[in-house]
Amino acid sequence: MILPSVRVFALGDVVLEGAPDESRGHLIDGRVIVTVRVATRVRSLDVVFQTTKGRRWGSLRRIRNCNNDFDDNSKSVAISEQLYCEDKEWSRGTYEFFFRIEIPGDLRETMFTAHGCVAYEVRATLATGGMRRSTARPVAVKRVPYVGAAWESLTSDVVHVSAVWRDRIEMCALGCSRVQRDDQPLRVTGVVRALEKGFRLTRVGFVLEERTRCRTAASSVVVASRFLRPGEHGSWCHSPIVDQLAFDVELQIPRAYRRIHYDVKHGPVTVSHRLAFVVAVVDESGHGTSLRLFTPLHIMPRAADAVELPTYTNAAADRLLLASA
């Protein structure tokens, strides 16, 4: 028996604006295309937006109340829409159905960490006489601050931080913005100033730190921390610091969900990032010191663009045989 083929297309990922308690939600537009090779009796066609990954909490079970808090705030989601239900025979050809699913604004963002995993998909299921054919497309749920929100104001300032170590070394990090998009270059400048003579610079660079934090009713615990070294992260040198030395560095931020996650600011598990300006110096006596200057950095997705869903009928060589109402 030759079963019909089913393909599902969704228009981009889900980008929610604002915090979970203030977001208006999101609409997913898409279409399902069914190709029938031989006449087949079809009973129904459904599409569903749903959670696909179980929420692992692994080693965090040792943290008191953590697992319960996570389960209470991260329910599974399944929002369905029926596109066809007539129990008729379909002749050979191509059939197209459009769908629009409303996504609530309080969903947890997509994440793939060692301690917790949340993922979503859009799945289309075609029921024939006695069998079912199903196919799915993964959809990421992201969150951005809406224009004018307090969250946005906290992330819109520039990078300008400095510190002095024991009145001997001053460090300064400069950048145009604390908000960074994934898969984009980050340009920063580091300045090292010697407040006394005799120091030599042996290593300098920038490192991006990602921290996963578990929030419980009683406390907030950092459960995982990893250092990402995107692109040119540092270099060895043996330059004496006469007055000050400045370094312009371009870091390539990895693509999200591969080596890095977007910031997650709400819920029982959160993800945050810090940029570290790393300096190693040696004084006149040969004693070496490693210094790190941290400053917050926010990795965020781009806001959703308003685009129209392309229709199958735009293809000159194809003919629309059946469409849902």
Confidence of residue 141 (pLDDT cuts 50, 70, 90): very high
Is 315 within a domain? no
How far apart are the C-alpha atoms of 318 and 94, rounded to whole Å?
9
DSSP 176: S
* Residue 320 confidence (pLDDT): 47
In this structure, are 201 and 103 located in the same domain? Answer: no
The stretch 176-194 carries a mean pLDDT of 89
Tell me if 213 is assigned to some domain.
yes
In a domain, 243, yes or no: yes
The residue with tokens 């004084």 is 283
> Tokens 């400048």 sit at which residue?
189
Q: Give the integer Cα–Cα distance in Å for 166 and 91.
A: 82
Q: Where in the sequence is the domain holding 113, given as residue range(s)?
A: 5-144
Confidence of residue 69 (pLDDT cuts 50, 70, 90): very low
231-266 pLDDT, tens digit per residue, is 444 565 678 888 889 988 888 888 888 788 899 888
Torsion of the alpha carbons at 296, 300, 303 and 308, rounded to the nearest 10? 170
Instruction: State whether 215 and 249 are in the same domain.
Output: yes
Please tell me the least confidently modeled range out of 46-55, 89-98, 212-221: 212-221
More confident residue, 67 or 14: 14
Q: What is the pLDDT of residue 121?
A: 93
Question: What's the CATH number where 183 sits?
Answer: 2.60.40.640
- Residue ending a domain, choose from 81, 115, 144: 144
In this structure, the answer to whether residues 125 and 182 fall within a common structural domain is: no
96-120: average pLDDT: 86
pLDDT average, residue stretch 52-68: 48
Nearest to 126 by CA among 46, 189, 63, 69: 46
67 falls in which pLDDT band (50, 70, 90)? very low
Chain center to CA of 95: 34
In this structure, the answer to whether residues 13 and 104 fall within a common structural domain is yes
Percent of the chain scored above 70 by pLDDT? 76
Are 94 and 176 in the same domain?
A: no
pLDDT tens for 2-56 read 888 999 998 888 999 888 888 888 899 999 999 999 999 999 999 999 988 555 4
Q: How confident is the model at residue 276, as a pLDDT? A: 92
Is 223 inside any structural domain?
Answer: yes
Count of domains for the chain: 2
Give the pLDDT confidence score for residue 172 in this predicted structure.
95
Write out the DSSP string of 204-265. EEEEEEEEEEEE-SS-EEEEEEEEE--SS-EEEEEEE-SSEEEEEEEEEPPPBTTTB---B-
Same domain? For 120 and 172 the reply is no
Whole-number pLDDT of residue 65: 42
Q: Which of 144, 177, 210 is the last residue of a domain?
A: 144
Contact by Cβ (8 Å): 204, 192: yes
Residue 324 in domain: no
Q: Are residues 112 and 211 located together in one domain of the fold? A: no
- 196 and 287 assigned to the same domain: yes
Q: Using CA atoms, how far apart are residues 279 and 130, in angstroms rounded to an integer?
A: 68
Residues 12 and 67 in one domain: yes
Question: Would you say residue 151 lies in a domain?
Answer: no
Task: Give the pLDDT of residue 214.
Answer: 78
Residue 176 has pLDDT above 70, yes or no: yes
Residue 230 lies in a domain: yes
* % the chain with pLDDT above 90: 36
Q: List, for residues 8-19, the tens digit of each pLDDT value.
A: 998 888 999 888
Within a domain: residue 318? no
Residue 305's pLDDT band, with cuts at 50, 70 and 90, is: very low
Note whether 127 and 162 are same-domain residues: no
Mark whether 107 and 164 lie in a shared domain: no
Report d(CA 53, CA 257) in Å as an integer.
14
Pair 174, 82 in one domain: no
Q: What is the pLDDT of residue 171?
A: 95
